[in-house]
Amino acid sequence: MTHPFLDLAPLSAARFASVEDRVARLLDTRQDVVIMQGEALLPLEGAIRGTAGPGTTALNVITGPYGQTFGDWLRDCGATVIDLAVPFHTAATADQIRAAFTEHPEIGFVSLVHAEAATGNTNPVAEIGEVVKEHDALFYLDAVASVGAEPVLPDAWGVDLCVIGAQKAMGGPAGVSAVSVSERAWARMAANPKAPRRSYLSLLDWKERWLDGGRKALPHAPAQLEMLALEACVERIEADGLDTVMARHASAAAATRAGAVALGAGLEPYVHEAREAAPVATTLRAPAGVVASELVARALASDPALPLAAGGGALAKEMIRVNHYGADATPGAVRSSLTALGAALAERGLDVDLAGALRAGEQAWR
């Protein structure tokens, strides 16, 4: 018996390379793009371990949990790490980065998360990139949550290592990811004796066994289903138009934010300024006396498919996430989420204005 997920023809090297080329066009980059055969944590960790080590002084910008993880990896590599911790309700600024370079001119590596879906903020990468470029530091960017929701332009921003994943705004699979690598970053890896080699974390292995050979023979069997799903999701973005996809996410964010404010009951945006709020997901602060995780659980009881989640770790008590990305970047998903949250708040005896919230959300959708 046949099955659509089984008995597939082998994925050729030429087709694999064509998917890489399409991802490169999505990022408007001329850098090498490597599709890694695993979730985005694979190239995120591999890129740090490949380029950082003893002698590296790294500025690690923390605007959410992933920034904290990057600092751990950098320290594990032997790098000297200067953490710039920014309150999760805001974004980093170019002035903060400039001040860090002034205080620590030895910084040669900067790690930054573009958009933190976990905290709902987005950082001004173009402005920060200008500062990093002035100081000739290597620039590492996690754009997993931002790609497809807002512009991601490694070449224009001077990003040396840009990691993306397809599982959020791109609406694709989680099992493969990609990284664009500048010539400077390749040179840094080649000169780093501690860079992973003959390892699943190794970007150098992909360069030597895949890129340097003209992308004629794959170094190992590819994750076929995930590659086909990635190809399909890029095709869909191309058909819709990247600007259209990004506009849909911006509208979902604006509608969710406006609707939550109008809903009342003390519910408010977690990220204070709308311009610092990520289009990929909106985070909300639960009303005083309400545990966010309990409120979300009650809202999901009406429909477990709603794109709602509580914040992770300690944030579970105060943060609600509306994950309006990918297939959920729609007016219907925003409306259903506001309705479920309104009902859960009303059950607790709080005064909500659901009609006003839905109206505000509809008016904010642009």
Residue 348 among known ligand-binding residues: no
Q: Are strands 80-85 and 121-122 parallel, antiparallel or unpaired?
A: unpaired
Written as six digits, the tokens of 39 are: 């979730």
Q: Tell me the C-alpha to C-alpha distance, in Å, between residue 336 and each of 90, 304, 324, 361.
A: 27, 11, 11, 11
Contact 290, 133 (CB under 8 A): no
DSSP letter string, 132-150: HHHTT-EEEEE-TTTBTTB
Residue 332 CB-density burial (10 A; 0-12 exposed, 13-18 middle, 19+ buried): exposed
Nearest Cα residue to 210 out of 14, 11, 31: 14
Written as six digits, the tokens of 133 are: 């470029």
> CA 282, 288, 293, 294 torsion: positive or negative?
negative
Q: Tell me the C-alpha to C-alpha distance, in Å, between residue 328 and each of 171, 242, 277, 281, 336.
A: 9, 16, 17, 10, 10
Name the fold adopted by 242-364.
Aspartate Aminotransferase, domain 1 (3.90.1150)
The pTM assigned to this predicted structure is 0.97
Nearest Cα residue to 325 out of 147, 186, 98, 179: 147
Q: Tell me the C-alpha to C-alpha distance, in Å, between residue 218 and each of 42, 194, 303.
A: 18, 25, 43
Provide CATH 3.40.640.10 ranges for the chain. 13-240
Listed in order, strand segments (DSSP E) in the chain are 32-36, 57-62, 80-85, 109-113, 115-116, 121-122, 138-142, 161-165, 177-181, 268-269, 282-285, 308-310, 319-322
* HSE, side-chain direction, 13 A CA sphere, residue 18: 9
What CA–CA distance (Å, rounded) separates 259 from 282?
11
What's the confidence (pLDDT) of residue 329? 98
What's the confidence (pLDDT) of residue 151? 98
Flag residues of the chain having pLDDT under 50: none
What's the confidence (pLDDT) of residue 9? 87
Q: What is the pLDDT of residues 186-203, one digit of tens each?
A: 999 999 999 999 999 999
Provide CATH 3.90.1150.10 ranges for the chain. 242-364
What is the CATH code of the structural domain delimited by 13-240?
Answer: 3.40.640.10
What's the confidence (pLDDT) of residue 41? 98
Q: Tell me the C-alpha to C-alpha distance, in Å, between residue 298 and each of 42, 220, 315.
A: 35, 46, 17
Q: Tell me the C-alpha to C-alpha distance, in Å, between residue 200 and each of 146, 163, 347.
A: 25, 16, 50
